[in-house]
């Protein structure tokens, strides 16, 4: 059945989109998880919803609106984090709620019939057009090149930002780059798994990978492979069982995550009993 499905272009595109998303999430998600900025990805993805609404209102591509909104949000959060010394979670709550509110407002005001918002909230990887694959591949290249070139500096800044500042590293620029790339990854993922489920694909593969990694390099590699495994199996399940793909991908990822941490707890429990 799956072999037969591979004959369809939409199915091949879906697998390719899942794979590209996994690379982006493996790289960016790993840094987001170790820097404890998962909520930031949540904030940006919901703020992007405002951009989708604006796109509909102005009659332009909603993804363009989402890109602008998420990058602006990244800039706003970075600025206030540095200048006003606000806590990250407070800032995230502010952009999260205002982004959603703007989205709802713009879509209400938009002329004509109500657009299919559901596909932006939950996404549909089986509907990713070829042009979007090209854009995704471009973003993956940008992420891979940036992270490869500045790997040691990304590690230094996410491990100990204060020490990076004392060493006169461009810590703020590196954080802005990381948050900016997060924003672009979020926009890309909105089409694949939707606004609401972006956080899961950025955080869950990386969180599982962390349990088995001794360095950021291995964590990124494992997170990418896990992401590919989750998206591929999610797409196949969704095709075979005829259920929404976004939900299937995330449920597989979340189930794996809980199994892994449960397994670790049980192992630790028995290790302690042996002693």
Partner 1 sequence: MTSPVIELSHVTFRFNRHPVLDDVTLAIREGEFHAIIGPNGGGKTTVLKIMLGLLQPQAGSVRILGGSVRDNRRYLGYVPQFRTFDFRYPISVREMVLSGRLGHMGTKLRYGDEDHAAAEGALETMDITDIADREIADISGGQRQRAIIARALVGYPRVLLLDEPTVYVDTPTATHFYDILEDLRKEMTIVLITHDVGALSPEITTVSCLNHRIFTHDAREITEEMIGAVYPCPVDLIAHGVPHRVFRRHDEMAEEEVITEEEEEEEVVDR
Write out the residues near partner 1 by the rule CB under 8 A: 34, 36, 149-150, 152-153, 155-156, 158-160, 162-169, 210, 213-216, 218-219
Rounded least distance, CB 168 to partner 1, Å: 6
Nearer to partner 1, 45 or 158 (CB): 158
Whole-Å CA distances, 172 to 53, 133, 175: 31, 31, 5
Q: Where do we find the tokens 């990386």?
A: 206
CB of 174 to partner 1, least distance (A): 11
Nearest to 144 by CA among 14, 231, 20, 15: 20
CA torsion sign for 200, 203, 205, 208 is: negative
Shortest distance, position 161 Cβ to partner 1, whole Å: 10
Residue 8 DSSP class: S
DSSP conformation class of 35: T
Give the residue with the Cβ less far from partner 1, 8 or 159.
159
Sorted by sequence, the CB contacts under 8 Å of residue 110 that are 6+ apart come out as: 53, 56, 57
Q: Which is nearer to partner 1, 47 or 207 (CB)?
A: 207
Report in angstroms how near the CB of residue 167 gets to partner 1 at its nearest.
3
What would the DSSP string read from start to end of 189-243? HHHHT-TTTHHHHHHHHHHHHHHT-SSHHHHHHHHHHHHHHHHHHHHHHHHHHT-
Let me know: does 255 contact 245? Beta carbons within 8 Å: no
Task: Judge whether 59 and 174 are in contact, CB under 8 Å.
Answer: no
In the complex, minimum distance from the CB of residue 184 to partner 1, in angstroms, rounded to a whole number: 23
Q: Toward partner 1, which CB reaches closer, 1 or 166?
A: 166
Q: How far is the CB of 232 from partner 1 (least distance, A)?
A: 25
Nearer to partner 1, 140 or 220 (CB): 220
- Is the CB of 66 or the CB of 171 nearer to partner 1? 171
180 token code pair: 């900016």
């Amino acid at each position: 059945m799956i072999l037969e499905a591979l004959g369809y272009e939409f199915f091949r595109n879906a697998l390719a989109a899942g794979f590209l998303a996994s690379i982006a999430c493996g790289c960016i998600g790993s840094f987001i998880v170790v820097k404890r900025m998962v909520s930031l990805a949540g904030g940006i993805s919901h703020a992007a919803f405002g951009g989708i609404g604006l796109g509909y209102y102005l009659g332009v591509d909603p993804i363009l609106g989402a890109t602008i909104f998420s990058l602006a949000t990244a800039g706003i959060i970075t600025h206030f984090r540095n200048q006003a010394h606000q806590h990250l979670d407070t800032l995230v709550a502010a952009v999260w709620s205002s982004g959603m509110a703007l989205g709802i407002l713009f879509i209400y005001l938009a002329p004509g019939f109500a657009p299919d918002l559901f596909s932006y909230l939950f996404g549909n990887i089986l509907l990713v057009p070829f042009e979007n694959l090209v854009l995704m591949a471009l973003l993956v290249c940008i992420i891979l090149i940036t992270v490869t070139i500045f790997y040691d500096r990304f590690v230094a800044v996410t491990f100990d930002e204060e020490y990076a500042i004392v060493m006169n590293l461009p810590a703020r620029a590196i954080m802005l780059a990381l948050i900016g790339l997060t924003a672009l990854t979020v926009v890309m993922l909105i089409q694949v798994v939707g606004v609401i489920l972006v956080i899961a694909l950025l955080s869950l593969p990386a969180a599982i990978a962390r349990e088995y990694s001794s360095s950021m390099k291995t964590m990124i590699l494992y997170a990418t492979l896990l992401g590919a495994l989750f998206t591929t199996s999610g797409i196949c399940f969704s095709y075979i069982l005829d259920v929404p793909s976004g939900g299937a991908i995330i449920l597989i990822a979340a189930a794996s995550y809980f199994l892994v941490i449960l397994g670790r707890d049980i192992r630790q429990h028995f290790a302690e009993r042996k002693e």
